[in-house]
C-alpha cells in the first residue's frame, strides 16, 4: 500500500456484510482428492500439489476483512516484514491499528492470522473437506495476506499442513526434509540458513498444496495474495508422557512411600543394590498400569483441552429452566463454542464423552446424540436423535462451555452471544 493509499485507509462496513447470528457454514467442495489414496501415498510422507481443488466464486474472506480481524485479535495476528528498517524479517504482533497498516511498505510484508475459524465460525467450511482426518488432529485455520514479494522466508513446520490458495498467486519453492537444519541467528522467525528448492510451483486460486512435517518450503506472493492453511497438531512424546504422569500422580496417595522391611545387609554402603533398583522399577510399573477405561478417560481429557480462545467467549447466562425453554423453542440451533472440543470413545460397552478436558461415562441411549454433537459444529436442536436424557446432556455441555444456543428470544430476533468480527473491515486499496 502506498502512502497515498494509506491516507485513504478507513474503517467501514464490509460490502454486503453478512448476518452474524447464525454460523451457517457451507463446506467448500474439493475435487481430485481421494482420501484413501492420499493417506496411503502422501499423508506424513510426501508433498502433493492439486491444481483446481477448489472452485471459489469469490474468496471466502477478503484481505480487508482479514486486516479488520487483525485489529481485533492479539496473539493470533502477526505481521512479518522482510525489509524492516531495523533489520530483516521483523515480526510484530497484534492487535494492529489502521495506522500500522498505513505505515507498511508496498511490498515484502505478510499478515498472518491464526485460529480464524474460531473467530469466524462460518469459515470452518474451509476445514470441512479435510475432516477425513480426525478432529483431534486438527489444530486451526490460518489465513495470510501477502503483499507482492511477501513471505515468511524458507522454513519447515513441525506439523502437516494443507495450503489453499484463496486469491492471487503465490510461488512455492519446495525443498527436501530439513528437520535439524540451521536457522538464521537473532531473528524471531525460524528461517533456514540454507535452502535449495527442488521444485517450484506457482499456484492460483483453488490450488491446494499439502506438506508433511519437516519439508522445507518458501512461499512468496507474486502480486498480492491470500492463502489459507489448515494446520494439524500432534503432541510430542514429551508432552504425552508429561500429561499422563501428571494425571497419574494425582491418583497416588501422598502417604504411599518406598518401604523396605526386608532390607538385607550389604557389603558396601555406597552401592545401590540390584534389589533396591528392582524395587523402584516395581513401583513405577505398578503405578503405570491402569485399566483401559481409566486410560481412555485420561486420553479424552488430554485431547479435549480447550483452546485459550474459549476464555474469551461468553459465560453461560441461562439458568436450567430458561435453557430448556430455549432448547425446545422452534428453530433453535446448537452451536459449538469456539475453542471447545468434544470427542467420544468406546471402551467395551461403555461410552466415554470427553468435553473441554473432562471425561464422562454416558448411557448407551445417548450414543447417537453424542456422535452428532461431536461431529457437527452447528445443528438444529430438533435434529438431534431424541433420547430421554438428551436435554440433561445438553445442559451439561452448556455448563461445560462446549455449546451455546442460538434461539429466537422474540419472534424474528435471533439471540446469540457471538461477537461479530466482521463488523468492520479495513479498507486497503490495491489488494486483489
The binding site for ligand SIN (CB under 6 A) comprises 110, 112, 144, 146, 152, 157, 161, 217, 219, 227, 229
Complex with ligand SIN: residue 104 or 402, whichever CB lies closer? 104
CA distance 18 to 329: 24
Looking only at residues 384 through 413 of this chain, which bind Co ion when binding is defined by CB under 5 A? Answer: none
| Helix ranges restricted to H, 62-191 | 63-70, 98-102, 116-119
Point out which span in 21-29, 112-120, 154-162, 326-334 binds Co ion (CB under 5 A). 154-162
Point out which span in 2-10, 23-31, 149-157, 424-432 binds Co ion (CB under 5 A). 149-157
- Extract the runs of DSSP E, i.e. beta strands, from 134-239: 138-146, 161-177, 199-203, 208-211, 215-232
CA distance 133 to 142: 18
Complex with Co ion: residue 157 or 365, whichever CB lies closer? 157
Complex with ligand SIN: residue 218 or 298, whichever CB lies closer? 218
CA distance 370 to 26: 22
Q: The C-alpha cell of 326 is what?
A: 430455549
Q: The C-alpha cell of 142 is what?
A: 490460518
157 binds Co ion (CB under 5 A): yes
The least distance separating ligand SIN from the CB of residue 78, rounded to whole angstroms, comes to 10
Q: Which of 191, 185, 110, 202 is nearest to 154 (CA)?
A: 191
158 binds Co ion (CB under 5 A): no
Complex with ligand SIN: residue 230 or 405, whichever CB lies closer? 230
The least distance separating ligand SIN from the CB of residue 110, rounded to whole angstroms, comes to 5
Give phi and psi for 126, each to the nearest 5: -80, -20
User: Residue 229 binds which entry of ligand SIN, Co ion, none, with Cβ cut-offs from 5 to 8 Å by kind?
Assistant: ligand SIN
The least distance separating Co ion from the CB of residue 155, rounded to whole angstroms, comes to 6
Per-position DSSP letters for 62-75, written without gaps between them: -HHHHHHHHTT-ST
User: Residue 219 binds which entry of ligand SIN, Co ion, none, with Cβ cut-offs from 5 to 8 Å by kind?
Assistant: ligand SIN
Complex with ligand SIN: residue 178 or 370, whichever CB lies closer? 178
DSSP 136: G
User: Residue 212 binds which entry of ligand SIN, Co ion, none, with Cβ cut-offs from 5 to 8 Å by kind?
Assistant: none
User: Residue 297 binds which entry of ligand SIN, Co ion, none, with Cβ cut-offs from 5 to 8 Å by kind?
Assistant: none
The least distance separating ligand SIN from the CB of residue 298, rounded to whole angstroms, comes to 32
The least distance separating ligand SIN from the CB of residue 26, rounded to whole angstroms, comes to 23
Complex with Co ion: residue 209 or 303, whichever CB lies closer? 209
Q: Which of 158, 176, 166, 167 is nearest to 218 (CA)?
A: 176
Complex with ligand SIN: residue 212 or 219, whichever CB lies closer? 219
The least distance separating Co ion from the CB of residue 67, rounded to whole angstroms, comes to 21
User: Residue 427 binds which entry of ligand SIN, Co ion, none, with Cβ cut-offs from 5 to 8 Å by kind?
Assistant: none
Complex with Co ion: residue 219 or 338, whichever CB lies closer? 219
Q: Enumerate residues 6+ apart whose C-beta is below 8 A from 246.
A: none
**Taken in order 376, 380, 383, 389, is the CA torsion positive or negative?**
positive
Beta bridge partners of 198: none
The least distance separating ligand SIN from the CB of residue 146, rounded to whole angstroms, comes to 6
- The residue number whose beta carbon is nearest to ligand SIN equals 144
Q: Enumerate residues 6+ apart whose C-beta is below 8 A from 11.
A: 68, 98, 424, 425, 426, 427
Q: Which of 37, 29, 77, 44 is nearest to 162 (CA)?
A: 44
The least distance separating Co ion from the CB of residue 183, rounded to whole angstroms, comes to 14
Complex with Co ion: residue 37 or 45, whichever CB lies closer? 45
The least distance separating Co ion from the CB of residue 211, rounded to whole angstroms, comes to 7
Q: Enumerate residues 6+ apart whose C-beta is below 8 A from 303.
A: 136, 341, 343, 354
CA distance 120 to 140: 12
Query: Which residues would be at the binding site for Co ion (CB under 5 A)?
Result: 157
Amino acid at each position: 500500500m502506498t502512502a497515498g493509499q494509506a491516507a485513504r485507509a478507513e474503517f467501514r462496513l464490509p460490502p454486503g456484510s453478512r448476518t452474524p447470528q447464525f454460523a451457517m457454514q457451507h463446506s467448500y467442495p474439493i475435487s481430485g482428492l481421494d482420501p484413501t489414496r492420499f493417506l496411503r501415498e502422501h499423508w506424513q510422507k510426501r508433498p502433493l500439489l492439486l491444481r483446481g481443488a477448489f472452485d471459489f466464486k469469490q474468496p471466502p474472506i477478503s484481505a480487508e476483512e482479514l486486516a479488520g480481524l487483525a485489529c481485533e485479535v492479539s496473539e493470533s495476528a502477526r505481521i512479518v516484514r522482510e525489509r524492516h528498517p531495523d533489520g530483516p524479517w521483523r515480526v510484530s504482533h497484534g492487535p494492529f491499528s489502521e495506522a500500522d497498516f498505513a505505515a507498511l511498505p508496498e511490498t515484502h510484508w505478510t499478515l498472518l492470522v491464526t485460529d480464524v475459524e474460531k473467530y469466524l465460525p462460518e469459515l470452518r467450511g474451509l476445514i470441512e473437506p479435510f475432516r477425513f482426518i480426525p478432529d483431534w488432529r486438527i489444530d486451526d485455520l490460518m489465513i495470510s495476506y501477502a503483499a507482492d514479494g511477501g513471505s515468511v522466508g524458507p522454513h519447515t513446520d513441525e506439523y502437516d499442513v494443507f495450503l489453499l490458495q484463496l486469491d492471487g498467486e503465490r510461488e512455492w519453492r519446495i525443498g527436501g526434509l530439513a528437520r535439524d537444519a540451521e536457522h538464521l541467528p537473532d531473528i524471531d522467525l525460524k528461517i533456514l540458513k540454507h535452502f535449495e528448492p527442488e521444485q517450484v510451483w506457482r499456484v492460483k486460486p483453488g490450488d491446494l498444496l499439502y506438506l508433511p512435517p519437516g519439508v522445507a518450503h518458501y512461499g512468496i506472493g507474486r502480486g498480492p495474495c491470500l492463502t489459507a492453511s489448515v494446520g494439524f497438531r500432534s503432541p510430542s512424546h514429551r508432552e504425552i508422557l508429561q500429561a499422563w504422569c501428571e494425571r497419574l500422580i494425582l491418583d497416588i496417595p501422598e502417604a504411599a512411600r518406598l518401604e523396605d522391611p526386608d532390607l538385607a545387609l550389604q557389603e558396601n554402603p555406597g552401592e545401590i543394590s540390584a534389589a533396591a533398583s528392582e524395587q523402584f522399577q516395581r513401583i513405577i510399573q505398578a503405578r503405570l498400569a491402569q485399566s483401559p477405561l481409566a486410560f481412555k478417560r485420561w486420553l479424552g481429557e488430554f485431547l479435549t483441552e480447550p483452546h485459550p480462545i474459549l476464555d474469551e467467549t461468553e459465560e453461560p447466562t441461562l439458568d436450567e429452566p430458561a435453557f430448556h425453554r430455549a432448547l425446545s423453542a422452534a428453530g433453535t440451533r446448537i452451536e459449538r463454542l469456539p475453542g471447545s472440543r468434544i470427542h467420544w470413545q468406546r471402551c467395551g460397552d461403555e461410552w466415554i464423552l470427553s468435553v473441554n478436558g473432562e471425561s464422562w461415562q454416558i448411557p448407551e441411549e445417548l450414543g447417537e446424540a453424542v456422535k452428532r454433537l461431536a461431529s457437527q459444529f452447528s445443528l438444529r436442536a430438533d435434529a438431534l436423535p431424541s433420547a430421554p436424557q438428551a436435554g440433561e446432556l445438553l445442559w451439561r455441555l452448556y455448563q461445560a462451555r462446549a455449546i451455546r444456543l442460538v434461539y429466537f428470544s422474540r419472534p424474528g430476533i435471533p439471540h446469540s452471544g457471538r461477537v461479530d468480527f466482521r463488523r468492520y473491515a479495513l479498507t486497503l486499496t490495491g489488494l486483489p
